[in-house]
């Protein structure tokens, strides 16, 4: 009698489950930073799955476990109610600083973005103007949006990285708008910086381009949401729409660049 040996085929893919889309995105970026190929998928019941090569499964699970240990119990981070978004409360310190400057800004009239003065060499006005506002309504509008967008960007990129990226976006937006508009004008306000923070948020998922079609969909969804929010919050007819647009575009560039750079850095070096 012949005995048949049943040889079980090795699995072609290993699966790591995630509770939410946000968690799946975060873990995908962690794996990408380790050079581990990953595919995102979603079950009909709504659960998210990360597919990796069986040979990479142990390394992938170890990287995710390390990431979770490093991000456990971060005092400044809070999950927004009814969403999967993390918020960094340190954005409130920025709001406080801008508000304090508003109370004494009469002493900083030379900080206005006067394009005639900038063209004569007073380039620093591009930086200082982001801290000044024309009235309380102008301040309140920028603080309300800035606290939200900066808080979300800080939670994603780290407080310092997000603050520097948004601030540089606003500064470069002032200079670019001046270059595109030859007529002299005076500008002020943190709106370019706020739009820069929005751009960084919209670009946060760019590193997922390596995660296949599901990753591409996440990228397009994130970018589309960012563009929609820009149209809602950054195109008021009484505001400097050109500077807002420039700030948003620079934020996209900074956010995408930081995200791509972090995909080449080991996870234990990407702490906030």
Asked if residue 45 has pLDDT above 70, the reply is: no
Strands 48-52 and 39-42 come out as antiparallel
Say how many domains are in the chain: 2
Asked if residue 170 has pLDDT above 90, the reply is: yes
End residue of a domain, out of 6, 40, 72 = 72
Q: How far apart are CA 80 and CA 87, in angstroms?
A: 7
In this structure, are residues 267 and 67 in contact, taking their beta carbons and an 8 Å threshold?
Answer: yes
| Domain co-membership, 176 together with 47 | no
Q: What would the two tokens of residue 75 be? A: 């005092």
Strand-pair partners of 42: 48
Sign of CA dihedral 153, 263, 170, 130: positive
Asked if residue 75 has pLDDT above 80, the reply is: no
Q: How far apart are CA 108 and CA 69, in angstroms?
A: 46
Q: How far apart are CA 71 and CA 156, in angstroms?
A: 12
Domain that holds residue 158: 86-269
| Domain co-membership, 48 together with 93 | no
Domain assignment of residue 78, yes or no: no
Of 71 and 34, the structure prediction assigns the larger pLDDT to: 34
Provide the mean pLDDT of the chain. 82
Residue 70 host element (H or E) = helix 57-70
Of 260 and 89, the structure prediction assigns the larger pLDDT to: 89
Domain assignment of residue 79, yes or no: no
Domain assignment of residue 5, yes or no: no
Domain assignment of residue 264, yes or no: yes
């Amino acid at each position: 009698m012949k005995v048949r040996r049943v040889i079980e085929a090795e699995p072609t893919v290993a699966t790591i489950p995630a509770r939410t889309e946000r968690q799946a995105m975060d873990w995908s970026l962690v794996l990408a930073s380790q050079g581990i190929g990953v595919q995102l998928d979603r079950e009909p019941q709504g659960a998210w799955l990360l597919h990796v090569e069986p040979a990479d499964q142990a390394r992938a699970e170890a990287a995710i476990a390390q990431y979770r240990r490093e991000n456990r119990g971060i005092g400044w981070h809070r999950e927004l109610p009814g969403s999967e978004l993390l918020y960094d409360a340190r954005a409130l310190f920025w709001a406080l600083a801008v508000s304090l400057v508003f109370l004494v800004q009469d002493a900083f009239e030379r900080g206005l973005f006067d394009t005639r003065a900038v063209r004569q060499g007073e380039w620093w006005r591009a930086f200082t103007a982001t801290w000044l506002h024309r009235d309380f309504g102008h301040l309140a509008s920028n603080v309300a949006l800035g606290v939200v967008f900066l808080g979300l960007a800080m939670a994603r990129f780290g407080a310092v990285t997000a603050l520097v990226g948004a601030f540089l976006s606003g500064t470069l937006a002032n200079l670019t708008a001046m270059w595109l508009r030859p007529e002299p004008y005076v500008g002020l306000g943190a709106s370019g910086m706020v739009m820069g923070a929005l751009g960084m948020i919209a670009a946060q998922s760019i590193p997922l381009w390596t995660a296949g079609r599901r990753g591409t969909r996440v990228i397009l969804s994130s970018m589309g949401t960012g563009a929609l929010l820009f149209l809602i919050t950054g195109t008021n007819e009484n505001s400097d729409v050109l500077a807002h647009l420039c700030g948003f575009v620079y934020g996209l560039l900074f956010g995408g660049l930081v995200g791509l750079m972090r995909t080449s850095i080991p996870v234990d070096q990407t702490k906030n």
